[in-house]
Amino acid sequence: MIPRKKIIAGNWKMNKTQTEARILVEDLLREIGRFDEAEIVLCPPFTALAAVSELLNSVSNIRLGAQNLHEAASGAYTGEISAAMLRDLYVRYVIIGHSERRQYFHEDNATVNRKTKAALAAELRPIVCVGETLPERESDKWKNVLETQLVEGLVGFGDKELADIVLAYEPVWAIGTGKTASPAQAEEAHQWIRKVLATKFSPAESGAETFLLAALHHDGESHEETIDDKEDQQDVNEDVLEMQMPIHKGSSIAQAVMRGKRF
């Protein structure tokens, strides 16, 4: 299998107005130039998609992503957004099943499945997040949790669809808890994800490239050593860098992008 590029996806969450987003992206574009050693994906809030899309129109090394979508093509769904609406803004990626969507908006695996189908039908590339909470990790239920998320969230997909899905392992238990997922734990989780894919879906997926969802801290402090170690693990091939909140200094973001690390 030919290795894919590293994916560095910035999930801005509910941060940045349209004006602030423009400033941030302009800074980023100046800093990273023609850097193309990774697939860079920016996922601003919906209100800033059009502005960011306009700025990215003339560049080929950064893609636009969205933080969510509704599974329906249209209808009476107040406050929601459809795949077609995202495509019209030249969105190429969409995050599905993020732990915050699961926790705060009660999205279950069936919802993740429907949204993923809607994204693929619209030729959007889904970034499907899976991961266990702290109680699930500490009670040694993490394997069952990941298997259930994968089996129920990806039911009905064949090799063709699975090849277009980015699977991002999100160690929810290591977010805001003071705990850190060790390289060995990340390796073990990725091995288990591949095993589930191979046994429940297709043997061809045993070599599928899964991704580590790493959090960029609000304070911008450097935490590079854990990513360095994880990159050395055999089964952790790629990283999805999740920007929890865009840092104001474009150069700092650019350095993280070009190193392919969190900071």
Active site positions, annotated: 98, 170
Contact 37, 259 (CB under 8 A): no
Long-range pairs of 204-208 with CB within 8 A, sequence gap ≥ 24: 204/159, 205/159, 205/162, 207/1, 208/162, 208/167
Question: What span, in angstroms and rounded, lies between the C-alpha atoms of 43 and 124?
Answer: 13
Largest CA distance in the chain: 49
